[in-house]
């Protein structure tokens, strides 16, 4: 909230533990430190191995950049991270992802040292089905329905959530439009996180100018890591 009031903008690098080997992760960390990345987000729709703890430990041992968990399930929790985005999928109607898994995890999370950040997660149509839409068994908000996005984000704010995260999903054909970002940002008082389908520094800058407080990029930088510095600079 303070960062939004002070108009501080941030860039988060999304790391999927399934996709990076140790050597690649070391190179990614070096690039992130040099580029001035503000946060690491760690998580994915699926975890096919047990690399989450290893990834978090490596990030924490080599940098001072805060590590936030972006969990796709209850299995994606590590006490070694700094914070956890407690995602409630408010754009969908799957009760398990609205509150069900949260009930199961509540006692465990209360005892953990993690900073818990209640987050309204909104999936926006990015032009093709994505892993998150399939795994969550929910329909995304249509890309041209700003009114639905506004009311969904407002509902999250009125429910007491602390962050709103609009995501087109990893590998989306189309990122979230500047028009929708501006509409939602103008309607809420909460910090707005935007991710999914962002492939260029120009789009990062557009999202920031439209009202995003934090831009998240993962898939594009797995394919073209040399763009990291340019994207971070466009954000800042």
Instruction: Tell me: is residue 196 an annotated ligand-binding position.
Output: yes
Instruction: Tell me: is residue 211 an annotated ligand-binding position.
Output: no
Residue among 102, 98, 104, 137 at smallest CA distance from 121? 98
Instruction: Tell me: is residue 144 an annotated ligand-binding position.
Output: no
Residue among 98, 103, 107, 109 at smallest CA distance from 76? 109
| Confidence check: pLDDT of 114 > 90 | yes
| Tens-digit pLDDT profile for residues 68-97 | 999 988 878 999 999 999 999 999 999 999
Instruction: Tell me: is residue 166 an annotated ligand-binding position.
Output: yes
Instruction: Tell me: is residue 44 an annotated ligand-binding position.
Output: no
User: What structural domains does the chain harbor?
Assistant: 2-235 (3.20.20.390)
As a whole number of angstroms, the distance between CA 236 and CA 153 comes to 25
Name which residue leads in pLDDT, 19 or 4: 19
What is the pairing mode between strands 214-217 and 39-42?
Answer: unpaired
- What angle, 0 to 180 degrees and rounded to 10, lies between the N-to-C axes of helices 22-35 and 228-235? 40
As a whole number of angstroms, the distance between CA 67 and CA 74 comes to 17
| Confidence check: pLDDT of 1 > 60 | no
Tokens of 230: 């340019």
pLDDT at 205: 98
Q: Please tell me the total number of residues recorded for the chain in this structure.
A: 236
Instruction: Tell me: is residue 218 an annotated ligand-binding position.
Output: yes
- Compute CA 166 distance to the chain's CA centroid, rounded to the nearest angstrom: 8
Instruction: Tell me: is residue 195 an annotated ligand-binding position.
Output: no
Instruction: Tell me: is residue 127 an annotated ligand-binding position.
Output: no
User: What mean pLDDT value characterizes the chain?
Assistant: 93
Instruction: Tell me: is residue 197 an annotated ligand-binding position.
Output: yes
Tokens of 170: 């990893």
Instruction: Tell me: is residue 171 an annotated ligand-binding position.
Output: yes
pLDDT over 90, % of the chain? 81
Whole-model pTM: value is 0.95
As a whole number of angstroms, the distance between CA 159 and CA 90 comes to 11
With beta carbons less than 8 A apart as the criterion, state whether 198 and 175 touch. Answer: yes
> Where do runs of H (alpha helix) occur along the chain?
2-5, 22-35, 52-62, 95, 101-111, 131-136, 146-158, 178-187, 201-210, 219-223, 228-235
| Confidence check: pLDDT of 101 > 70 | yes
Instruction: Tell me: is residue 16 an annotated ligand-binding position.
Output: yes
Phi then psi for 85, rounded to 5 degrees? Answer: -80, 105
Degrees to nearest 5, angle at CA 231 with 228 and 233: 110
Instruction: Tell me: is residue 219 an annotated ligand-binding position.
Output: yes
What is the band of 157 on the pLDDT scale with cuts at 50, 70, 90? very high
Instruction: Tell me: is residue 178 an annotated ligand-binding position.
Output: no
């Amino acid at each position: 909230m303070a960062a939004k009031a002070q108009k501080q903008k941030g860039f988060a690098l999304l790391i999927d533990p399934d996709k990076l080997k140790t050597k690649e992760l070391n190179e990614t960390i070096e690039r992130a430190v040099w580029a001035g990345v503000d946060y690491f987000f760690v998580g994915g729709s699926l975890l096919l191995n047990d690399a989450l703890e290893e990834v978090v430990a490596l990030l924490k041992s080599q940098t001072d950049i805060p590590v936030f968990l972006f969990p796709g399930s209850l299995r994606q929790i590590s006490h070694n991270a700094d914070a956890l985005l407690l995602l409630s999928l408010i754009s969908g109607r799957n009760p398990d992802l609205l509150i069900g898994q949260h009930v199961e995890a509540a006692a465990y999370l209360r005892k953990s040292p993690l900073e818990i950040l209640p987050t309204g997660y909104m999936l926006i149509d990015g032009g093709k089905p994505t892993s998150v839409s399939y795994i969550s068994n929910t329909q995304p908000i249509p890309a041209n329905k700003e009114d639905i996005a506004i009311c969904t984000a407002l509902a999250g704010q009125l429910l007491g959530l602390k962050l709103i995260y609009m995501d087109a999903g990893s590998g989306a054909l189309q990122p979230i439009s500047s028009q929708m970002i501006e509409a939602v940002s103008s309607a809420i008082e909460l910090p707005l996180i935007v991710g999914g389908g962002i492939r260029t520094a120009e789009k990062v800058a557009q999202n920031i100018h439209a009202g995003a407080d934090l831009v998240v990029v993962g898939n594009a930088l797995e394919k073209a890591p040399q763009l990291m510095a340019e994207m971070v600079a466009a954000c800042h």
